[in-house]
Structure 1
Amino acid sequence: MTTLDVSAVRTRFTGQVVAPGDDGYDGARAIFYGGLDPKPAVVIHPSDPAEVAGVIALARETGLELSVRCGGHSVAGHSVVDGGIVLDLRHLRAIAIDVEERTVWAQAGLTAGDVTKAVAEHGLAIGFGDTGTVGIGGITTGGGVGYLSRKHGLTIDNVLAAEVVTADGQILEVDADHHPDLFWAIRGGGGNFGVVTRFKYRLHELPGVVGGMILLPATPEVVHGFLQEAAAGPEELSVIVNVMPAPPMPFIPADVQGSLVVLGLVCYAGPADEGEKALAPIRALAEPLADFVRPIAYPEMFMEAEGDEEYHPTATARTLFADELDLARVTEVIERLRTAPAPMRVTQFRPLGGAISRVPADATAYAHRGRAFMVNVASFLDGPDTRPEREQWVRDTAAVVANGGPGAYVNFVADASAEWAREAYPGATWERLVQVKRQYDPDNLFRHNVNIPPEG
């Protein structure tokens, strides 16, 4: 380890360099989730891929730990490293849309909302997740489960090529014919293999969607019915079913606030009349407490997620997959939610299938193609002393839901333990990723992530 000479660093880069004591340092090191207070030695915003390679070289020279930041939404806090070097891509924001070819090259400093809005001006779309402020780099390399997944696949299923800066400073353009193993690995393997500075995505025609939020009472029959109707519905329909206390929002009656509700986010990627038919069985489950589902432009799906910059939630969470969610399991989860120790807690269900499941399991590094549901259990903290209690509640609730074998979605993994890495990348996927890691990052320079060590 060496002491970093920040003055010398500033002379090496034309991009912005932010260090302790500089105006903007606290903003540069802030991340979305609370409970973490990393203080990096320096935050560098490279101006081009060559400067990305320069930051990587600096990390190798100094021995300081390196983290790569796009949107700062890493649940485990991987976006910023304490005492190390943050390679912040947020100034790489070029975008080039080919309307005729239906493709877009987008640099990794852009957010999901940025790209979604830009391509929507041409009646086109690429599915990312469900939050507009996430960086496209993180969500893409981790997989990309979102509002268009059942219709058009994961984000990685629509990546045609990428520009990657490797640990030895090479700037590579990768696709199915050029560095195919690296191209395979960055589609689901996270940031283990290099810094992706831009992606080429396939776009889909999407003039509009039927989407928005619907609020229903959280009875076991309603929750189970919502999941079954959504899973059996047309592939154009993707939903996120959150079972949680009703938040204190103006449109929610005062006597409902704080009681358990189903906060459903729905998106039908097709004609409005067909969307209304697909949603009718869900609306028939119970009288909605609120219903904002309507024909909208696709970027509006992200508007609710464009949150307050001062909002930094602190929670403990677990991500898993389930192959069956029967009424008994749903009933037990709801009872656990009713009696949970935390004022704010949530169990989130995402029906999968459709286009996700039609991609062969070994086609990308996302290895969970056959799973029926993704589930996330979270409990918010009131302070550090509440963590052990809340973590136990999360573990016990997740155990109620889990069935069909282990598994984890890397973008929702909340800590960096080896156990989680193996659940995210099981079996043959892990072995192949280790081989690619040995080739492109044998010294494990890119380790501030859900790590795949080169020694396996």
Structure 2
Amino acid sequence: MLPMSVLLRDMHKESKLLPPHLVAEYLCQLLTRIDVKTFGATQWNVLRSAVKEPQRPLNANSNILATVDKTFLQYLQDKIDGDVWVTGSKEYTLRRRVFNQAISHFPIGIVVPQSEADIVKIIDYANRQNLQISIKGAGHGVTGAAVINGGIVIDMSTFQNIELCADGQSVKVGAGIRNRDLDRFLSHHNKVVPLGTCPDVGVVGATLGGGIGFLSRKYGLSCDNVLAFNLITADGQQRVVNAGEHTDLFWALRGSGGAQFGVITHITFSLHPAPDSIEGGIIEWPIHKANGILTHYSETVLQGPRTQFLYAYIARSTAKQAKISIMGFSEDPDTSLHDITSWETDADISITHKQYIECQSNNYEQGHALYWRNGIIEGALTQDFITTVLQCFQSCPDNAGGIMLDPLCGAIQDVGAHETAFIHRNASFVCSITGVTPPDQVNIEVTEWVNQTYERLSPFFNGHAYQNYDMGNDFPLIGYYGQHTQRLIAIKQKFDPELRFVGALQRHLQKTA
């Protein structure tokens, strides 16, 4: 729907004068965004299905924008205790940014609620105006799905509460909390929740798609440790979702990825004792050692102890400086990370004894445009796969791309394939191909390398992809959800029949409507 159609309709309902320049702007939007192919299929009453391309942002310096801003604030700001930000404001500019600097989306408004009551009112407003909603926690999703073009963004950054439950064995976490916040809080109680290794990632967003980190092989995914979700659905109902209430949603929220069924305000996790003794660090070898390293790595992931977690990666670099690296974590003194250094000679070793929270404080580069593809590998890394990976990296433009392997197995495989929506229970690795460029430069050579590498490696993948590494509109729904696809579609249609909340399920259903 064109956002201005909402504004004009509301003004008409309240018998307000429609300024000629607003009508002219609406007609301008209409004429520039409807083409010959879509003209006959357009629903001209509300233009609900007319636009499939990203919304063009309004001119931030125009007089029209000032009227749009004022009108939007008038209809929503007065209803809630939180804030509404629109194009032209400094807060809008800051809050629409996401981690991936290749993404630049323009919602018609970014709303920062202060309470669950605010969220109910925002959803009601979106329902009445027929606007779609995206939810922003930390905005780390690689496709920038947290910030929607032409809809409403609910920015959950004010939901910063963390509460240790009375039993001391669980914790309730607000939707604005990032990994580093929860790790720091729990370190004072000598407890942990299995979380990802990037400190800036939002806890809720990562959990919805699975959540893989150092403790996953011992305690499972982040989503495997959820006791309850506090969820507000498209009908404005506040629901506690757990193993005894709304069990269909409880199943779906553990692995569907993204805020696709409503607004999650809090998650309650079960807790585990913090590790006592930890080794952590990075071991690197020259790239010509990679064949043997990746063979050893594969064997260790498939057969090694659950107390050990190892990433393997080739980081972006020049061809002459390329390394094969293992980032490791071990809490078992009998399986020291120093044993890994014997895999090949000429190792560059940076391993120390650490506190768990130090292992969770990795530095990730920021401020780049990212181009990301990924696939799932079952079983061992074959020699053909390893050879192809190394050949692909040789063709990568200097300092512009990398390939990474996330390990699975262990406790992740203890959960039955049908117990949650997460389908990768029998997988061994997630393989990611990433291109990196400055945010203000489009480098076709880099994006082509990512796509070509993905195509060359696809025969080694099982046809699926990790939900938290969303690959956008072109990737088929079954690739994320496999045998669970139809069940998730049915739950989406039950709780969000108007497709209010955006995500992979909404994109699929909107295409097939």
Please confirm whether the aligned pair reaches a TM-score higher than 0.5, indicating the same fold: yes
Q: Counterpart of 1:453?
A: 509
Q: Deviations over 1:114-150 (max 9, x none)?
A: 1111111111111111211011111011111111110
Give runs of aligned pairs for residues 367-378 of structure 1, distance below 5 A: 367-378=423-434
Q: Counterpart of 1:254?
A: none
Q: Counterpart of 1:250?
A: none
Aligned match for 2:465, one of 408, 411, 415: 408
Offset of residue 175 of structure 1: 0.5
Amino acid at match of 2:322: L
Q: Deviations over 1:41-76 (max 9, x none)?
A: 211111111211222122112222311100100111
Aligned length: 436
Cα pair 1:163 1:197 within 8 Å, conserved: yes
Q: Counterpart of 1:298?
A: 356
User: Any gaps of 5 or more consecutive residues in structure 2?
Assistant: 8-67
Give runs of aligned pairs for residues 213-224 of structure 1, distance below 5 A: 213-218=282-287, 219=289, 220-224=291-295
Amino acid at match of 1:390: W
Amino acid at match of 1:376: S
Offset of residue 10 of structure 1: 1.6
- 3-state SS in 2 of match to 1:432: helix
* 1:124 is aligned to 2:180: no
Q: Counterpart of 1:266?
A: 328
Amino acid at match of 2:154: L
Cα pair 1:332 1:400 within 8 Å, conserved: no
Q: 1:281 to 1:135 in 2, by over 3 A?
A: same
Q: Deviations over 1:83-104 (max 9, x none)?
A: 3211010110111113753110
- 3-state SS in 1 of match to 2:362: helix
Cα pair 1:319 1:409 within 8 Å, conserved: yes
Q: Counterpart of 2:21?
A: none
- 3-state SS in 2 of match to 1:223: helix
Q: 1:434 to 1:360 in 2, by over 3 A?
A: same
Cα pair 2:113 2:156 within 8 Å, conserved: yes
Amino acid at match of 1:111: R
Query: How far apart in 1 are the matches of 2:271 and 2:429?
Result: 26
Aligned match for 1:241, one of 312, 328, 332: 312
Aligned match for 1:195, one of 245, 251, 263: 263
Q: Counterpart of 1:334?
A: 390
* 1:393 is aligned to 2:452: yes
Cα pair 2:282 2:325 within 8 Å, conserved: yes
Query: How far apart in 1 are the matches of 2:195 and 2:474?
Result: 26
Q: 1:422 to 1:349 in 2, by over 3 A?
A: same
Offset of residue 217 of structure 1: 2.5
Q: Deviations over 1:229-253 (max 9, x none)?
A: 2332101111111123448xxxxxx
- 3-state SS in 2 of match to 1:284: helix
Query: How far apart in 2 are the matches of 1:349 and 1:233?
Result: 16
Amino acid at match of 1:184: W
Amino acid at match of 2:509: P
Q: Counterpart of 2:222?
A: 155
Q: Counterpart of 2:63?
A: none
Amino acid at match of 2:263: V
- 3-state SS in 1 of match to 2:113: coil
Q: 1:156 to 1:288 in 2, by over 3 A?
A: farther
Amino acid at match of 2:391: E
* 1:435 is aligned to 2:490: yes
Q: 1:449 to 1:424 in 2, by over 3 A?
A: closer
Query: How far apart in 2 are the matches of 1:131 and 1:179?
Result: 31
Query: How far apart in 2 are the matches of 1:313 and 1:347?
Result: 16
Q: 1:289 to 1:148 in 2, by over 3 A?
A: same
Amino acid at match of 1:6: F
Q: 1:396 to 1:430 in 2, by over 3 A?
A: closer
* 1:94 is aligned to 2:161: yes
Offset of residue 342 of structure 1: 5.2
- 3-state SS in 2 of match to 1:453: helix
Q: Counterpart of 1:41?
A: 108
Moved more, 189-198 or 238-247: 238-247
Q: Counterpart of 1:183?
A: 250
Q: Counterpart of 1:251?
A: none
Moved more, 231-240 or 205-214: 205-214
Moved more, 123-132 or 56-65: 56-65
Offset of residue 362 of structure 1: 0.6
Aligned match for 2:205, one of 132, 138, 142: 138
Query: How far apart in 1 are the matches of 2:164 and 2:335?
Result: 28
Amino acid at match of 1:274: D
Cα pair 2:388 2:457 within 8 Å, conserved: no
- 3-state SS in 2 of match to 1:64: coil
Aligned match for 1:7, one of 70, 73, 78: 73
**What is the percentage of aligned positions where both structures have the same residue?**
25
Offset of residue 344 of structure 1: 2.1
Q: 1:258 to 1:71 in 2, by over 3 A?
A: farther
Quote the RMSD (CA, aligned, Å). Answer: 2.2
Q: 1:401 to 1:315 in 2, by over 3 A?
A: farther
Cα pair 1:245 1:261 within 8 Å, conserved: no
User: Any gaps of 5 or more consecutive residues in structure 1?
Assistant: 248-256
Offset of residue 381 of structure 1: 4.1
Q: Deviations over 1:165-184 (max 9, x none)?
A: 00000000010001111111
Query: How far apart in 2 are the matches of 1:381 and 1:246?
Result: 12
Moved more, 408-417 or 211-220: 211-220
Amino acid at match of 1:7: L
- 3-state SS in 2 of match to 1:24: helix
Q: Deviations over 1:333-362 (max 9, x none)?
A: 112202223532211112211100010001
Query: How far apart in 1 are the matches of 2:385 and 2:364?
Result: 33
Cα pair 1:129 1:139 within 8 Å, conserved: yes
* 1:357 is aligned to 2:394: no
Whose helix fraction is larger, Structure 1's or Structure 2's?
A: 2
Q: Deviations over 1:178-197 (max 9, x none)?
A: 11111111111122211111
Question: Given the two structures, how large is their TM-score scaled by the length of structure 1?
Answer: 0.90
Using CA pairs under 8 Å that are at least 6 residues apart, name the structure with larger relative contact order, 1 or 2: 1
Moved more, 163-172 or 130-139: 130-139
Cα pair 1:164 1:196 within 8 Å, conserved: yes
Between Structure 1 and Structure 2, whose CA radius of gyration is higher?
A: 2
Amino acid at match of 2:328: V
Question: Given the two structures, how large is their TM-score scaled by the length of structure 2?
Answer: 0.80
Q: Counterpart of 1:113?
A: 180
Amino acid at match of 2:149: D
Amino acid at match of 1:436: I
Cα pair 2:316 2:398 within 8 Å, conserved: no
- 3-state SS in 1 of match to 2:153: strand
Q: 1:409 to 1:237 in 2, by over 3 A?
A: same
Cα pair 1:329 1:401 within 8 Å, conserved: yes
* 1:212 is aligned to 2:281: yes
Query: How far apart in 2 are the matches of 1:15 and 1:212?
Result: 42
Offset of residue 306 of structure 1: 5.7
Give runs of aligned pairs for residues 311-326 of structure 1, distance below 5 A: 311-323=366-378, 324-326=380-382
Query: How far apart in 2 are the matches of 1:299 and 1:52?
Result: 33
